[in-house]
């Protein structure tokens, strides 16, 4: 009986201790930057390198510069497992700690947080994912999705295809296949795909992959073999990507006609196919490798000091690690802007929202950040445009690594923006009463 009591006391003490340990994040001086990450669950393969990149860059700023503008960053991860319910729980847990921004890292979670953001005055950064229509800053003043929307991504892919075909008019009568993760993320670009099908006269064949069938796609790829699409486009995530690349190779589909969005181009996506995956293409928003001075600083201040969660130094500089770094650069720059605009060291979510609207990262600024030519200049985010519709490039798997094979490809903004504004109006109509924007625009934005 005594032993049982002792165990119970120990458990109670441990619980109390954990509670006490959880408090400093709120009480500690600094800027609270929570990261919703997924290092466990079925999508951990994609989530881990991104989480490492995001966390390590912010940690490096703390270690090297003492934070941003003299204010230390309080970085805290909340594990979502890429599960929307858990993601919303994470948000509810962290919001009382006054986060200056929330990174959901899931389209499903983002969609749930969009209505909450304006109420809680917390900006949401869904970097190149989430609701494409949230680029409309007049309708969604608290949501930011730079550098490009999914619709931009699709339009860039079509520009690339048009280049290779000798003009988009050459698509008339052809079939374009679209294989996608059967969820909010994968369905997001379908309205634009259907519009393009009408505009250019091709047939769009859809191949949805349910979560339970991510690693069991052979039946679906038989359909591809029968339909013989001239090009295949993929909006995949997690285990869906490597399986699709392997299956495409299996049916002898020409892999240089198979293009993934920027979330279907990680090293772990192509590596399992190895040489069989040679030729597969994917859009990319960021540079590759660890040779950038800022990434070297991460090595020096974070990885070498054992403050990173990467399991091997080789993984620093992989595509999705660098994507995570990019995400944190956007956060850091928005915080810097907020400090500059308000003159405060310890900024709030409301200040950082203004910081995001003033987001500008010129070529020179990328260089200054230690990331020369890392990404296209961010120069079009504004009060009304929370995305900017920036460029991406095409990368190709050479059997062992990704290689950049195109220049920056600008999206078809003229096609995307009107549809996007229309979609924003639709969203408002379906979610009445939707609050009208009351936040004024700064001169800098």
Partner 1 sequence: MDLLYQIFIDPFVQMGTAPDLLVQTLWEGLVGGVLYSLIALGFVLIFKASGVFNFAQGIMVVFAAMSLVSLYGLGIPAFVALALTFAIMLALAWGVERLVLRPLVNQPDIILFMATFGLTYFLIGFGELVFGGEPKVMIADQLFLPRGAYDIKMLGGFVSLQKIDIAATVIASLMVAALAVFFQKTRIGRALRAVADSHRAALSVGISLEQIWVIVWFAAGIVAIVTGIMWGARSQVEFSLQIIALKALPVLILGGFTSIPGAIVGGVIIGVGEKLGEFYWGPLLGSGIESWLAYMIALAFLLFRPQGLFGEKIIERV
Considering only residues 251 through 290, tell me which ones interact with partner 1, judged by CB under 8 A.
Answer: 251-252, 268, 271-272, 274, 276
Residue 401's Cα: distance from chain center in Å?
21
**Least Å from the CB of residue 307 to partner 1:** 17
**What are 63-68's contacts with CB under 8 Å, separation 24+?**
63/301, 63/302, 63/305, 63/307, 64/297, 64/301, 67/30, 67/31, 68/31, 68/332, 68/335, 68/336, 68/339
Q: Is 191 in the site for partner 1 (CB under 8 A)?
A: no
**Least Å from the CB of residue 213 to partner 1:** 5
**Least Å from the CB of residue 202 to partner 1:** 17
Q: Of 30, 41, 377, 399, which one interacts with partner 1 (CB under 8 A)?
A: 41
Q: Of 15, 215, 400, 431, which one interacts with partner 1 (CB under 8 A)?
A: 215
**Least Å from the CB of residue 286 to partner 1:** 20
Q: Of 212, 343, 414, 443, which one interacts with partner 1 (CB under 8 A)?
A: 212
**Binding segment toward partner 1, per CB under 8 A, in 19-27, 151-159, 213-221, 433-441:** 213-221
Distance CA 185, CA 262 (A): 12
Q: 115 or 272: whose CB is closer to partner 1?
A: 272
Q: 273 or 409: whose CB is closer to partner 1?
A: 273
Q: Is 34 in the site for partner 1 (CB under 8 A)?
A: no
Residue with tokens 């109420």: 119
Give Cβ neighbours of residue 94 (< 8 Å, ≥ 6 apart).
32, 34, 76, 78, 102
**Binding segment toward partner 1, per CB under 8 A, in 63-71, 237-245, 282-290, 366-374:** 237-245
x-or-dash pattern for partner 1, window 239-258, by CB under 8 A? x--xx--x---xxx------
Q: 270 or 416: whose CB is closer to partner 1?
A: 270
Q: 276 or 442: whose CB is closer to partner 1?
A: 276
**Least Å from the CB of residue 276 to partner 1:** 8
Q: Is 40 in the site for partner 1 (CB under 8 A)?
A: yes
**Least Å from the CB of residue 169 to partner 1:** 27
Q: 8 or 222: whose CB is closer to partner 1?
A: 222
Q: 312 or 438: whose CB is closer to partner 1?
A: 312
**Least Å from the CB of residue 56 to partner 1:** 16
Q: State how far the alpha carbon of 98 is from the alpha carbons of 121, 123, 335, in Å.
A: 9, 11, 14
# chain residues binding partner 1, by CB under 8 A:
43
**Least Å from the CB of residue 332 to partner 1:** 26
Distance CA 386, CA 142 (A): 9
Q: 16 or 222: whose CB is closer to partner 1?
A: 222
Nearest to 82 by CA among 115, 39, 49: 39
**Least Å from the CB of residue 190 to partner 1:** 11
Q: Of 17, 24, 201, 210, which one interacts with partner 1 (CB under 8 A)?
A: 210
Q: 12 or 251: whose CB is closer to partner 1?
A: 251
**Least Å from the CB of residue 18 to partner 1:** 17
Q: Are 336 and 356 contacting, i.e. CB atoms less than 8 angstroms apart?
A: no
Q: Is 207 in the site for partner 1 (CB under 8 A)?
A: yes
Return the exposure string of 228-253: e unless at least 16 CB atoms fall within 10 Å of the residue's CB, then b.
ebbbbbbbbbbbbbbbbbbbbbeeeb
- Asked if the bond preceding 147 is cis, omega within 30° of 0, the reply is yes
Considering only residues 86 through 145, tell me which ones interact with partner 1, judged by CB under 8 A.
Answer: none
x-or-dash pattern for partner 1, window 48-67, by CB under 8 A? xx------------------
Q: Of 209, 248, 335, 392, which one interacts with partner 1 (CB under 8 A)?
A: 209
Distance CA 191, CA 180 (A): 13
Q: 34 or 238: whose CB is closer to partner 1?
A: 238
Q: Is 43 in the site for partner 1 (CB under 8 A)?
A: yes
- Using CB under 8 A as the criterion, which residues of the chain lie in contact with partner 1 when the complex forms? 39-45, 47-49, 182, 206-216, 218-220, 222-223, 225-226, 238-239, 242-243, 246, 250-252, 268, 271-272, 274, 276, 311
């Amino acid at each position: 009986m005594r032993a049982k009591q002792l165990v119970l006391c120990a458990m109670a003490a441990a619980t109390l201790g954990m509670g006490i340990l959880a408090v400093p994040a709120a009480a500690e001086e600094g800027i609270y930057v929570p990261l919703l990450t997924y290092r466990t669950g079925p999508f951990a393969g994609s989530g881990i390198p991104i989480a490492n990149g995001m966390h390590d860059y912010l940690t490096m700023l703390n270690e090297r510069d003492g934070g941003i503008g003299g204010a230390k960053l309080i970085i805290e991860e909340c594990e979502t497992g890429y599960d929307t319910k858990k993601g919303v729980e994470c948000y509810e847990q962290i919001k009382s700690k006054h986060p200056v921004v929330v990174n959901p890292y899931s389209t499903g979670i983002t969609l749930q947080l969009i209505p909450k953001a304006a109420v809680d005055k917390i900006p949401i950064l869904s970097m190149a994912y989430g609701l494409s229509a949230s680029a409309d800053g007049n309708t969604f003043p608290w949501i930011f999705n730079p550098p490009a929307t999914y619709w931009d991504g699709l339009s860039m892919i079509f520009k690339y295809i048009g280049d290779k075909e000798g003009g988009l008019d050459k698509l008339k009568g052809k079939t374009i296949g679209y294989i996608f993760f059967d969820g909010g993320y994968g369905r997001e670009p379908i309205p634009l795909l259907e519009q393009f099908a009408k505009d250019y006269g091709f047939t769009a064949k859809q191949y949805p992959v349910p979560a339970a069938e991510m690693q069991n796609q052979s039946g679906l790829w038989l359909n591809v073999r029968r339909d013989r699409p001239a090009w295949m486009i993929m909006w995949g995530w997690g285990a869906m990507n490597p399986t699709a690349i392997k299956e495409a190779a299996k049916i002898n589909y020409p892999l240089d006609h198979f293009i993934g969005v920027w979330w279907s181009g990680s090293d772990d996506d192509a590596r399992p196919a190895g040489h069989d995956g040679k030729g597969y293409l994917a859009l990319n928003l960021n540079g590759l490798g660890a040779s950038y001075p800022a990434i070297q600083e991460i090595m020096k201040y974070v990885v070498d000091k054992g403050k990173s969660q990467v399991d091997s130094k080789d993984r620093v500089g992989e595509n999705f690690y660098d994507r995570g770094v990019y995400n944190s650069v956007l956060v850091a720059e928005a915080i810097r802007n907020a400090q500059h605009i308000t003159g405060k060291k310890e900024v709030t979510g409301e200040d950082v929202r203004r910081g995001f609207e003033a987001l500008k990262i010129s070529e020179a600024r990328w260089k200054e950040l230690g990331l020369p030519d890392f990404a296209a200049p961010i120069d079009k985010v504004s009060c009304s445009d929370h995305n900017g519709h920036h460029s991406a490039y095409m990368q190709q798997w050479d059997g062992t690594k990704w290689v950049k094979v195109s220049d920056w490809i600008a999206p078809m903004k003229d096609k995307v923006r009107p549809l996007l504004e229309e979609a924003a109006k639709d969203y408002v109509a379906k979610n009445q009463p939707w609050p009208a924007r009351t936040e004024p625009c700064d001169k800098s934005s």
